[in-house]
Amino acid sequence: MGKSASKQFSKEVLRSHNEYRKQHQSPALKLSSKLSRDATRYAESLASTRVLKHSAESSRGSCGENLAWASYDQPGKDVADRWYNEVKHYNFNRPGFSTGT
């Protein structure tokens, strides 16, 4: 993915995530160039090993992490939709981290 396509993808993912977050009265996210660089490096590492796994929690501090894998380019909205489809596994009575979401 080229630089301009990557920027467009990031904007689509961010816009879609924020639309979903708004439905749950969660504050909007903002794009961070540092986190984007770190995520790109980690994604390249995962691609080179062909293993999909979350990074160590200690390496990302209080930041969450959504992972997606595809053998073809996907629009950012499609990736965010795949993430949000996990909402059916989320326990709103016990908010917090869950391996199913």
Q: Residues 17-57: pLDDT tens digits?
A: 999 999 999 999 999 988 888 888 898 999 999 988 888 88
Computed from CA positions of residues 80, 20, 90, 55, in that sequence, does the dihedral angle turn out positive or negative? positive
- The ranges assigned to domains in the chain are 3-89
**DSSP class of 25:** T
User: Looking at residues 88-98, what average pLDDT do you find?
Assistant: 79
In contact, 101 and 87? CB cutoff 8 Å: yes
pLDDT of residue 60: 78
User: Looking at residues 79-92, what average pLDDT do you find?
Assistant: 87
Cα distances (Å, whole numbers) of residue 83 to 3, 23, 34, 97: 23, 15, 22, 14
User: Which CATH fold topology does 3-89 show?
Assistant: Pathogenesis-related Protein p14a (3.40.33)
